[in-house]
Amino acid sequence: MNEFAALMTALVVGNIGLTRFVGVSPLLTKTLSRKSVLTHSLVSCLVIFLASVAAHFVDLALISGGPKLAYLDALIYIAIVLILFALVSFVGKHLGVNQDSAMLVYFNASILFLMMNQASLTLSVAAALLYALGSGLGFACFYWIAESMNARLHVVDAPYGFKGEALLLLSLGIFAYAISGLIGIV
């Protein structure tokens, strides 16, 4: 996979939010203000980028190479996720950014999936960095779009069963179907 393909795959056609629905959970807990959405998008973008870069090198050093600890891969990756979140929370606290750990914890799903998925791809260092950047930006875009959708759907007069979470999932499903049209083009 060349560098451009890696970037575009991570950003659009292989977007972990839109094409796998991993990490969609935080959207369902509550609606947020624009500022909070922006903060969460940026934090998730940063964490996903760092996690994805870390996953590439950890895979080379410990999992597919070195001591070959393939049976411990999930635990190694989750340790990276927890370290990153501790770091982000620490930095966020000192910068006065409102950290919502309950929501951030569900991004773990997307990050773990991304790292496991990236490990299954054999990318060069440059492609891995671009893949990481694309994943972070892609997830942030997905989060921004989905949260905007969620805010609008909350005021829609829908039947009780569909109100809220089900309507959001329904809309995201249709949106993912539209995006799937890009597979093979991008």
- Site residues, another protein (CB under 8 A): 19-25, 28-30, 71-75, 78-79, 82, 101-102, 105-106, 108-109, 112-113, 116-117, 120, 159-162, 165-167, 169-170, 172-174, 176-177, 180
CB within 8 Å of 122: residues ≥ 6 apart: none
Residue 106: CB minimum distance to another protein, A: 7
Residue 63: CB minimum distance to another protein, A: 13
Q: What is the DSSP string of 2-25?
A: -HHHHHHIIIIIT-HHHHH-TT-H
Cα(48)–Cα(72) distance, integer angstroms = 20
Nearer residue to another protein within complex by CB, 3 or 175: 175
Nearer residue to another protein within complex by CB, 42 or 69: 69
Residue 116: CB minimum distance to another protein, A: 5
CB within 8 Å of 100: residues ≥ 6 apart: 36, 40
